[in-house]
Structure 1
Amino acid sequence: MKVAEENKVKVFISYSWDSKEHQQWVISLADLINEKGGQAIIDRTHLKYGGHIKTFMLKSILDADIVLMILTPKYKDKADSLQGGAGFEYNIINDELFKIITQNDKYIPVLREGSLEASVTSFLKGFNCADLREGNDYLQNLDELIEQILGTPLKQPDSHKQNKPIMENEYKTLEPLIVEMKKKAKGYFDQFFNLENPAMGKAKMQLTVKNWEEEIETYSASVKEKFSPIKMELYEEYLEDFKNNVFGVELWTVKAALKTHDPDLARYKKDYRDADAEAIFDTVNGILSATHKYVSNEMPSINYSELNEIESLRMQYLNEEEMFMKKIVGFGIRSEILHRYYPSFFPIMTQKSLWAMYFICDSANEFITIEQRNRQGIMRVSHNWQYPYDRFTFLMNSLSNQLISWFGAHSIKLKEEWRFGYVNMFLSTIHEAHKVDIKLLHAWIDTK
């Protein structure tokens, strides 16, 4: 009697393409698992032509009952340096394994070649490995591993929607994250400006900076004019007009959400229609009033060129309850108000910038979140809209200092009053370069 696929233990195998012989051994292991009644998943047999590689890896790891990591010296090198497909998989595995470290029965390291020191990755050194190196105990160890795999209880499907953002205490240490950000961002910078040809590169940089500055000046001036203290006083007498003709029109994030045909934003449209105009005004006015005081009192003592810790930003006031309005004003909309009014002090943290940071820092998953609708059996990758704004500002300031340095090396001076505006434009360019990747990652995919 044939066992239904949903009743089989799903086993994802993470490995590196060391050699043809090693790849064939992995395929043989997968075949054995299938013959014994499991469901083995590997890229060579399950990743279709045209399939998005990172989406396949992410979905396969999260959906599996068991994940085998085939350890060899080459796998260790790629995993520890987070390079290639093995590095990407290992980073996901690390994040997930850390959450269940004391109750792990899903992630099994398998030593295939080399010594423990040469092949076991840094994080896995404290875990018991299945030894499948060639030797007298090979067949016995293989039988024991297969028996353990097939005895694994199947995951019980949840019946409700889940949103799984990376938790703040799981974020990567800042120093290595900044090192990676600088390195990868410089690669994008050199690519965008074609610095293999210095003369043409500098000409393109000069034109690009000119266009960026015109755009920053335009979008900042419009918000300062529409949301000035004088105008905000006037709006108190015309709250519905403020809601529908200022808040709903002037801010990109709100306007886009209200005009898009995206079914995921249909809820926001309804919430916006039902929202109290006075509550919207009070929230926006509260954000602006508190920020004007912050800029006046705190900013003169902050040295952005030598900022060395998040706490130096003193942004605690943004954590107050009145800085948000449930369902209407969240992190993204608030950051747009702050950035466009004060582009020298606040970055914009929206879908574009968070996705761009994901591609710059592809060893860190903290800029994305996994959405699952288990009742429907689907999942997708989204931007982490709950990312801490002070942490984001600290990272963006570091990137800003790099842009100042990189342009300065070509005798192009960036203006301090548009510090985070340049960062916004740079990240928007990276986002544009990855629109296809983002579309694939953000599409709902079947997990059944």
Structure 2
Amino acid sequence: MYYPNTIEKICYDEKHIEGVVEEIKVNFPSYFERCIEFEEGSEISLLAGQTEKTAEVGCGSAVKMKVRNIRQILTEIMTKGIEKFNRGRLGYLELLNIEALEEFEDSPAVFKSALWRECRIIQKSLMSKSKELDKFQRDFNLANPNDLLTVCRNISTFSSWYTEEFNDVDYDSLKGLASLKLSKLDTEEYTVVRVLGGGIKSQFLHKLQPSYFPYRSKEAIWALWYLTNQKDFDCKEKSQFLMISKEKSAITQNYFYPYELFGYYAYQVYLLLKKEVFNAK
């Protein structure tokens, strides 16, 4: 049985969304600067990202100071990010393309085996000794292979449709939540309860088409919490991004956070990052 995302209705309110976006814009510059400073502290960046410049100070005395090459530092960050992204990507591309999925129609059990063998996120989750993943490991083992195959085929089909749909669209000028057309991904058709949820299916989409689909990782959800200055925006649960259990004294990411909302906020961060990259010197 499919269960809906645990998200309050106010989170879809237009004014609420505008408030979240404005808060992200306010806090983005300080976090961007901290990101540069962090990368700058690495050995590579100190060699490639900075140069020494002699400056006149006071009565003609000269001192040497570090001059940051922001563009070089950003290039390093992106290069490392691309290298990390490409690790294990081939398995996703080979398994989750439409033609390959059609070949598994008569053998869904074989597909289930290939899923944990070829998709690193599934493999790592199943091999993890973390207590947090005990339920996932049990539920994956019990999952119906036909359901897994059907949902993966739907995800792959959606990915192909989406890239064609936005191929000739001025992507950087889209306005409003509905403009990104991601709502279908939060429906039963694209979910295997407790097995292929928001995080894993977003990883599938991200590996297939990284230009269009952000990865709704644990770190990304926490990042939105920090970028919004930990404000609740009138949510009764105090945070739409976190799940807070007073009984267990535990705080985790909201595992059920809708991909449609996440995708829209990630899109806003993308626009801010793109501006910084093009203005970097």
Q: TM-score range by the shorter chain?
A: 0.7 to 0.9
1:190 correspondence with 2:36: yes
Gaps of 5+ in 1: 1-163, 412-448
Instruction: Measure how far apart 1:396 and its partner are.
Output: 1.2
What are the residue-to-residue correspondences of 1:4-403 with 2, within 5 Å? 167-169=8-10, 173-194=19-40, 197-199=66-68, 201-245=70-114, 247-296=115-164, 298-364=165-231, 365-372=239-246, 374=247, 378-403=248-273
SS for the counterpart of 1:347 is coil
CA distance in 1, matches of 2:81, 2:186: 31
CA shift at 1:202, angstroms?
A: 4.1
After superposition, the C-alpha distances for 1:293-352 in whole angstroms (9 at most, x for unaligned) are 2322x2135423222211111223223321111121111111111111010111010212
Distance 2:251 2:203 in 1: 23
Q: Secondary structure at the match of 2:243?
A: strand
SS at match of 1:346: coil
C-alpha distance in structure 2 between counterparts of 1:237 and 1:181, whole Å: 52
- Aligned letter for 2:167? P
Could you tell me which amino acid in structure 2 is paired with residue 330 of structure 1?
Answer: G
Tell me the TM-score normalised to structure 1 length. 0.49
The one-character-per-residue Cα deviations of 1:378-434 (angstroms, maximum 9, x if unpaired) are 2200101222212211211121122222222236xxxxxxxxxxxxxxxxxxxxxxx
Q: 2:275 and 2:182 mapped to 1: Cα distance?
A: 26
CA pair 183-201 structure 1, distance change in 2 beyond 3 A: closer
Shift of 1:234: 1.8
CA contact (8 A) 1:332 1:348 kept: yes
Bigger Rg over Cα: 1
Summarize the Cα distance change of 1:280–1:185 in structure 2 as closer, same or farther, 3 Å threshold: same
Q: CA RMSD in A?
A: 2.6
**Distance in 1, Cα, partners of 2:6 & 2:106:** 40
What TM-score does the superposition give when structure 2 sets the normalisation length? Answer: 0.75
> 1:360 deviation in Å?
2.7
SS in 2 for 1:369: strand
Say whether 1:408 aligns with 2:278.
Answer: yes
Structure 2 unaligned blocks of 5 or more: 41-48, 51-65, 232-238
Matched-pair contact (CA < 8 Å) for 2:104–2:111: yes
Seen in structure 2, the aligned counterparts of structure 1 residues 341 and 244 have a Cα distance that, compared at 3 Å, is: same
C-alpha contact (below 8 Å) 2:186/2:259 kept by paired residues: no
Identity of matched residues, %: 18
- Kindly indicate whether the alpha-carbon contact (under 8 Å) linking 1:184 and 1:360 is maintained by their aligned counterparts in 2: no
Cα distance in 2 for partners of 1:322, 1:263 equals 29
How far does residue 219 in structure 1 lie from its aligned partner after superposition?
4.7
Letter aligned with residue 187 of structure 1: E
The one-letter code of the counterpart of 2:175 is N
